[in-house]
Homo-oligomer: A and B are copies of this chain.
Amino acid sequence: MFARLALIGIGLIGSSIVHAARRAGIVDHFAISTRRAETLAEAEALGLGDSYHLDAAAAVENADLVIICAPVLAYQAIIERIAPALMPGAILSDAGSVKAHVVEVIRPHLPEGVHFVPGHPIAGTEHSGPSAGFATLFDRRWCILTPEPNADPAAVKKLSAFWRALGSHVEIMEPDHHDLVLAITSHVPHLIAYNIVGTVADLEHDTKSEVIKFSASGFRDFTRIAASDPVMWRDVFLTNRDAVLEMLGRFTEDLSVLQRAVRSGDGKKLEEMFTRTRTIRRSIIDAGQETAAADFGRPHGKPDGAG
């Protein structure tokens, strides 16, 4: 499908693309580039690529597909560096969690004849780095593409086929709409998880030890997404501010209502609220986006990290 895929950034997403594309047998040559020499050496030690480049421009030379898999605020420097080296007819895409900002940054630098099709695979784990990737990460998950109205249909079609070959379902969306939907499905949940874990981190030492000890009562679920890559998430909140603040506003309004129900002892309201939320989880399981197994299928009674 592609003769040379250049990956700019080789963390969880970049390395998972390698594994999934190798499984599918749709790329001849993987050119891997990342800014830090240690990360590049780690990728090489793992045997992820066919060539390794500290210079992103060298990686994209002759590449018919380039995917930026780096934190969003790194895009400016990346596009300035690679734009002159991009091959006419190449497809340029990315895996960033925000899309309107990405379009704004990339568009002014885009060379004639290069097809820009931004993308966002809705998949991940709390682990990061070149060793975190695995071939099944994108299976049955969505990948959203946000091409501009004048994008080349053949390029969009080819990139869609690429993500389908990686195991994903593909959805086409406008960048602004993507950012609003992701604000509530992803960005605000991460902010809230980071926040409550932060509240615990600020507790006095003794109470904090107890929270860790008794975390199985609910808290530990929040710590998973609060363990995600900090730089990636910093960039999400810096570049999708308006949508995040809009959805966060709705969340805090609703929380005030719930807080008042607790304060006034309004059992009827609490029970009603706690009942209707069950159907949302059922819908997510029915949509194939979650396991029905109790506790996410977490191991019970096994020793530490037995997974």
Question: Which residues on A are within 8 Å of B, measured CB to CB?
Answer: 73, 97, 122-127, 132, 134, 136-137, 139-142, 144, 167, 171, 180-182, 184-203, 207, 210-228, 230-231, 233-235, 237-238, 241, 244-245, 247-248, 250-252, 254-255, 258-259, 261-263, 265, 267, 270-271, 273-307
Contacts and interface: CB of A to CB of B under 8 A. Distances in A.
B192 A192 contact: yes
Given A185-B218, A226-B281, A274 B122 contact: no
A255 B139 contact: no
B181 A207 contact: yes
Given A139-B301, A307-B291, A217 B277 contact: no
Nearest to A182: B217
A255 B290 CA distance: 28
A304 to B, nearest CB: 5
A299 B288 CA distance: 12
Q: Mostly helix, strand, loop or mixed at chain A's interface?
A: helix
A196 B189 contact: yes
A307 B297 contact: yes
Nearest to A125: B294
Contacts of A134: 300
Given A216-B290, A285-B305, A201 B137 contact: no
A192 B255 contact: yes
Given A212-B284, A241-B263, A284-B212, A278 B218 contact: no
Contact of A274 (B187, B194, B285, B298): B194
A271 B230 contact: yes
A199 B247 CA distance: 9
B258 A194 contact: yes
Contacts of A141: 216
Contacts of A197: 277, 280-281
Contact of A234 (B125, B171, B274, B292): B274
A257 to B, nearest CB: 9
A213 B289 CA distance: 7
Residue among A182, A228, A270 having the largest count of chain B Cβ atoms under 10 Å = A270
A270 B200 contact: no
A186 B217 contact: yes
Contacts of A226: 274, 277-278, 280-281
6 contacts: A202-B254, A244-B262, A252-B259, A293-B307, A296-B298, A297-B297
Contacts of A200: 184, 280
B244 A248 contact: no
Residue among A207, A212, A306, A307 having the largest count of chain B Cβ atoms under 10 Å = A212
A274 B307 contact: no
A200 B301 CA distance: 34
Contact of A299 (B228, B238, B252, B297): B297
The 4 tightest CB contacts between A and B, nearest first, are: A293-B307, A139-B301, A292-B305, A136-B301
